[in-house]
Structures are given as C-alpha cells and as structure tokens.
Amino acid sequence: MATGRTHRPATRSRGIPEATVARLPLYLRALTALSERSVPTVSSEELAAAAGVNSAKLRKDFSYLGSYGTRGVGYDVEYLVYQISRELGLTQDWPVVIVGIGNLGAALANYGGFASRGFRVAALIDADPAMKGKPVAGMPVQHTDDLEKIISDNGVHIGVIATPAGAAQQVSERLIAAGVTSILNFAPTVLSVPDGVDVRKVDLSIELQILAFHEQRKAGEEAAAVAGAADDVVTPPPLRADTAAAAAAAAASRKGPDGDVPAVMPA
Amino acid sequence: MATGRTHRPATRSRGIPEATVARLPLYLRALTALSERSVPTVSSEELAAAAGVNSAKLRKDFSYLGSYGTRGVGYDVEYLVYQISRELGLTQDWPVVIVGIGNLGAALANYGGFASRGFRVAALIDADPAMKGKPVAGMPVQHTDDLEKIISDNGVHIGVIATPAGAAQQVSERLIAAGVTSILNFAPTVLSVPDGVDVRKVDLSIELQILAFHEQRKAGEEAAAVAGAADDVVTPPPLRADTAAAAAAAAASRKGPDGDVPAVMPA
DNA sequence: TTGTGTGAAACGATTCACAGCT
DNA sequence: AGCTGTGAATCGTTTCACACAA
C-alpha cells in the first residue's frame, strides 16, 4: 500500500448509508438546475424543498460526505455539484450496454438523461437477427452473439436489461461472465447473481400495484362501511380440489387483518 | 356505520407497513408462477427464495395480512394469490391513462404486464396534434385538450406521466384537478402535489447513478491506493469567481469523508 | 443573527429464535 | 417432525433540537 489512506474501513460502503446514496442523485439534479440559473449558494431549506425532502435529512446526508457548507450562509452550488458528482463517480464516463431493443430498450436508448451526465451508451444489443444493423437512436443494433466481445472491447461494467422476462436471467449470466458487475433490470423477474454484482430493479407493474393498494384504501375510506359491509365477508377464492381442506382449515382459523384482535373469537 | 368493523384505526394504512406493501407484488408474481405450474402449496422458505427475500421477512409480511398459512405444511398457493390480490386491490379493474406517448409512453402502452392483472389502459394522451388519432398499441392517441373529459368519462384514478420533464408538473395538476389521485411519474422532476395524492417515481438516471456509486467503490477497492494516491487530492472544482472565497474557506475547514477524523488536522 | 453540523431520541424495518399448531 | 406466527433484540433511518461557526 503506497499511501497512508486506509484500505477502507471494512464496514458499509465508505460509511455512507444506502438511503443517503439513493438521494444524492436527487440533490445533484436540483443543484444542477440551480447551477444553470447561476444561483451561487443555497440553504439546506431551499435545496431540500427543490429536491422534495426535508432539510434535516438533507443536512444529515451531506454530513456523511464531509462539511461542505458554510454556517450562516449555506452551500456553494458549484462546489457541491462537484463533490456529489465525484462521490457518485460521475466525473468519469461509464459505458453502458442496453440489451433488448424492443419498445422499452429503444426508449432507453433515446433517453437524453442517459448521455447527459456520466453515462455513455456504448452499444445496443438484441437477439433478433432482423434487428441487426438497424439504427436506433443513431446507433446500429448489434447481435447477441457478439455480446461478450462488445463488453470487453468497451470495458463495460454496467448493463441494462430490457429483454422479455424469460431471457433476462440468461442475459444477466452472459453479461456477468463477460465482466459486467452492475445491472439495471427492467425485466419483471428476480435475477439471481453472484456476490459482488449489484442489481437494481425497475418494475412498472409493481409500482402500479403499490399505487392500487393506496388507491383502494382511499376509496374504502368513505365507501367501505356503506357498500362494502356485505362485500367485506369476501367471496371465497376458487380453491383447488385437493387443497380445499387445508385451505378451509386455514380460513377457519385465520385471524382478521385488523391486527391482534381475531375477527372471529375462537373461545 | 352499518357494521361493527371499525372505521379504520386512524394509524398507518390499515397497519400494513409500507415496506411490506412494496413486497406484496413480488410475492404475488412468484405465487402466480407457482399457480400456473399447478403447485398446490409452498413453504415460506421456497416462496421466499422465489421472490428473492428471506423467509423470516416473508412470514412477518404475511402475518400483517392475517394467519393464512398452515403450520407444518405451508401456504395454499391459490388462496394466497387471492388474498394478496384482494389486499392490493387487484380484484377490481383500474383504468389508467398514459400521458406523453413518446418512446417511453409507447413502450408502456405496449407493455403486457399492465393489462395482465388489474390494470386497463383506458386512454393514451399526447400534446402533439400530429399524434392525434395515430394508433399505438392498438389504440388511438387522444389530444391533451380532452384530458379532463377522458379522465372523468372513464373514472380514472391512476395516471402515468411519461412526458418530458418540463411538462410533468402541469400535466399532474390537470390530472389531479380532473380526479386522479395516484400518479406514476417517469419524468425526471419532483412533482409537487396536494395531500392525499400519491406519487411514485421511476427514474432511470437515478438508478444508474446509484449503480455508478457502487461500481466506483468496487473499482476503488484495489486501484485506489495504487493509482488513486495522487488522484485522491482532487483537482479543485471550477469555482465561480464571486463565491471562490467562501468555497475556499469551506474547503480549508472541511473534514474528510472518512468519518470523524479530519483529513487535515487543524491543530 | 442565521443556518450548518450533529449528538440523542424516536421510529420503522429486519432478523432472531422459539412457542405452538398440524 | 415440520413450519408457521410472533414477541424480543437488533439494526438502520429519520427527526428533533441545539451548540457552534461565520
């Protein structure tokens, strides 16, 4: 080891909490907007409002990066942009490949936000031979056969999977074998990957389902006791014959969903 | 109030933790796959593996819904599918509108996972007059002028925003005014909405930036002490002239990012 | 006086570990 | 004997509130 800088404290990622890391891009975006308007400094209060968080959280987040503010004044916008960019690793350029050039893959390829800061689409890859050579977002689509070569020739470490669910696991394995260690997965599947590989998942239908849950709750607010009274004793599910007994038993002994109090008192 | 069922405990969403709600769709997907393979029952261990979580968490999650398992046996697949669907509000059909039919909007419209369970694309809306009437995913694109009418005619409560960032806030306001109370936002902006409106955000570049952070960390693992030693004393940021003094002062007094120990001991 | 930086308290989520039902 | 359901312990995150620097 050449310098006195420690190898890394063996703890969590340099001590920056994951929740904080997830918010840094948000701050960065707000700061970039301020920077473009040539605003020289911001207070935690202002910046927090722009990023949609509260100011205590923002100050705590920044405190993990170091003391970059000036008491009584606020934060220097340009300086903070730089520090956060550096912390996120955006001062270097990350080549990424997009695998699966369907509607979504094409949308991603065309998405300006990709190229803007720190990322560069190095290649578009698709399994369909008919796609080969077709230009998408000003770039010829390449065939999956060449995936390994493309990854290593371009030094790609980040891959985006936009294939159908069925292909995703296999694609991830090939990406990883070729040297990719971070994957952004748009396919609706759980990828299983070796340790040391990061996967982030973007799942449209999961997000919608979460919204539906809350939406239902809102609707139930006023309507439940009125229209839902009979509806509340639910129509029994269509049970498979060979498990009906077990399910019936389970149903008979199950508690209501309202917490500790059984809906049907057993004793 | 017609029944004895309490109005709702005034606490958190019926007592189901948000983190649990966010995982229910994951369980549902795994269960649906089992159901299609006609698997009658699963243990928490098996289902957890399929959903990519650990079994203790899964059991705790299910315990918030009620006692739906059978000790010594496991969970009845069909029954659980039904219970979770009901909990998520997927036994009813949610009409959704997609606003902004560019690359991404078109991809969303074509995405099969939408229609499959509980959601129905009621309309596609775009501001470009040239798009009007053009069929996307077998459906004519309608013009933004008719947004309010479309929302109310179809009883839409969930809206998907896939417009450019600049249009998103205004679109959200129109959606909300027309009756939408849940928004899935793909535009890279913070939406400000009134209380009672739920917003979920899907942001491609944020996800990539989080990956870049971890990727940088991995790269630094072996290379930092070697090549990064000189690189570690960073090239100073390009400071604006009128804030250079304050920033310099801040830089001089700032602590290093390694926690409590100042990188440059002041005394 | 203003607004950062941060210990300490409060909160929420996860994991442990085992009692209790089948 | 096996697996769920759940209190209790643990861990991570958020919020509070205020000392301290500019």
pLDDT higher than threshold 60 for residue B252: no
Q: Do A63 and A123 sit in the same domain of this protein?
A: no
* DSSP calls for chain B: --SSS-S--SSSGGG--HHHHHHHHHHHHHHHHHHHTT--EE-HHHHHHHHTS-HHHHHHHHHHH---EETTTEEEHHHHHHHHHHHHT-SS-EEEEEE--SHHHHHHHH-HHHHHTTEEEEEEEES-GGGTT-EETTEEEEEGGGHHHHHHHHT--EEEE-S-HHHHHHHHHHHHHHT--EEEE-SSS-----TT-EEEE--HHHHHHHHHHHHHHHHHHHHTTTTHHHHHSPPPP---GGGHHHHHHHHHHPPPTTSSS-SS---
Q: Does B253 touch chain A (CB under 8 A)?
A: yes
Q: List the single protein residue with the shortest CA to C1' distance from D7.
A: B60
- Rounded Cα gap, residues B105 and A110, in angstroms: 12
Residue A156 lies in a domain: yes
Question: Which residue, A44, A65, A88, sits at the end of a domain?
Answer: A88
Q: Residue B223: what pLDDT?
A: 58
Domain count, chain B: 2
Q: Do A127 and A196 sit in the same domain of this protein?
A: yes
CATH, residue A51 = 1.10.10.10
Q: What is the pLDDT of residues A170-208, one digit of tens each?
A: 999 999 999 999 999 999 999 999 999 999 999 999 999
Q: Do A140 and A46 sit in the same domain of this protein?
A: no
Residue A263 lies in a domain: no
Chain B 65..124 CB hits on strand D (< 7 A): 67-75
Give the pLDDT band of residue A166 (cuts 50, 70, 90).
very high
CATH, residue A110 = 3.40.50.720
**Which of A111-115, B17-21, B113-117, B234-238 is least confident?**
B234-238
Mean pLDDT for chain A overall: 83
- Cα distance from B217 to chain A (closest Cα, Å)? 7
Q: Do A98 and A201 sit in the same domain of this protein?
A: yes
Q: What is the pLDDT of residues A3-22, one digit of tens each?
A: 333 333 333 346 899 999 99
Q: How far is CA A60 from CA A17, B154, B247, in A?
A: 11, 45, 20
Q: Does A4 touch chain B (CB under 8 A)?
A: no
- Name which of A2, A204, A217 is nearest B225 (Cβ-Cβ): A2
Q: Residue A213: what pLDDT?
A: 98
CB atoms near residue A228 (< 10 Å): 14
Q: Do A148 and A105 sit in the same domain of this protein?
A: yes
Question: Which residue, A167, A183, A206, sits at the end of a domain?
Answer: A206
A-chain residues within 8 Å CB-CB of B92?
216
Q: Are A54 and A47 in contact (CB under 8 A)?
A: no
pLDDT higher than threshold 60 for residue B3: no
Residue A224 lies in a domain: no
Q: Residue B220: what pLDDT?
A: 76
Question: Which residue, B62, B88, B114, sits at the end of a domain?
Answer: B88
Give the pLDDT band of residue B14 (cuts 50, 70, 90).
low
Residue B99 lies in a domain: yes
pLDDT higher than threshold 70 for residue B70: yes
Give strand letter and number of the nucleotide nearest A41 (CA to C1'). C3
Q: Residue A221: what pLDDT?
A: 63
pLDDT higher than threshold 70 for residue B254: no
Q: Do A61 and A133 sit in the same domain of this protein?
A: no
Those of residues 145-174 in A touching chain B at CB distance below 8 A are 157-158
Q: Do B71 and B131 sit in the same domain of this protein?
A: no
Residue B227 lies in a domain: no
Q: What is the pLDDT of residues B135-160, one digit of tens each?
A: 999 999 999 999 999 999 999 999 99
Q: Do A193 and A132 sit in the same domain of this protein?
A: yes
Domain of residue B150, residue span: 94-206
- Rounded Cα gap, residues B52 and B45, in angstroms: 10
Q: Does A200 touch chain B (CB under 8 A)?
A: yes
Q: What is the pLDDT of residues B171-219, one digit of tens each?
A: 999 999 999 999 999 999 999 999 999 999 999 999 999 999 999 999 8
